[in-house]
């Protein structure tokens, strides 16, 4: 008799966890469906056109910097900190040509 009562208690204990997991998974699915996805779409619709106005240019400049620094690394390796004089002289030359 005691064994049956103990088994029923364990079965109820397991069902409570099954219901809790089901509610947790259902809550996450509902949150994703009605909160995260619509807000993400609004964010994407706003972010993509505005991205190229400011952040896109920073991204392009960063990418160009990475590519040019890759090509500049052998010169910097050979000349050390003196290699920056070439960059400074080039920048001064370009500024003087523009003016």
Per-residue pLDDT for 9 more than 70?
Answer: no
Mean pLDDT of the chain: 80
pLDDT of amino acid 83: 82
pLDDT of amino acid 10: 64
Contact call for residues 57 and 68 (beta carbons, < 8 A): no
Per the structure block, which two tokens stand in for 19?
A: 């219901």
pLDDT tens digits, 79-98: 888 888 888 888 898 889 88
Which pLDDT band, with edges at 50, 70 and 90, does 2 fall under? low
Residue 80 Ramachandran class (φ > 0 left, ψ -120 to 50 alpha, else beta): left
């Amino acid at each position: 008799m005691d064994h049956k009562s103990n088994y029923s208690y364990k079965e109820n204990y397991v069902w409570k966890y099954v219901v809790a997991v089901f509610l947790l998974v259902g809550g996450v699915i509902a949150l994703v469906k009605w909160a995260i996805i619509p807000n993400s779409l609004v964010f994407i619709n706003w972010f993509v056109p505005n991205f190229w106005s400011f952040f896109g240019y920073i991204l392009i400049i960063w990418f160009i910097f990475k590519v040019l620094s890759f090509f500049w690394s052998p010169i910097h390796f050979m000349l050390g900190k003196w290699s920056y004089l070439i960059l400074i002289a080039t920048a001064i030359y370009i500024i003087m040509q523009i003016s």
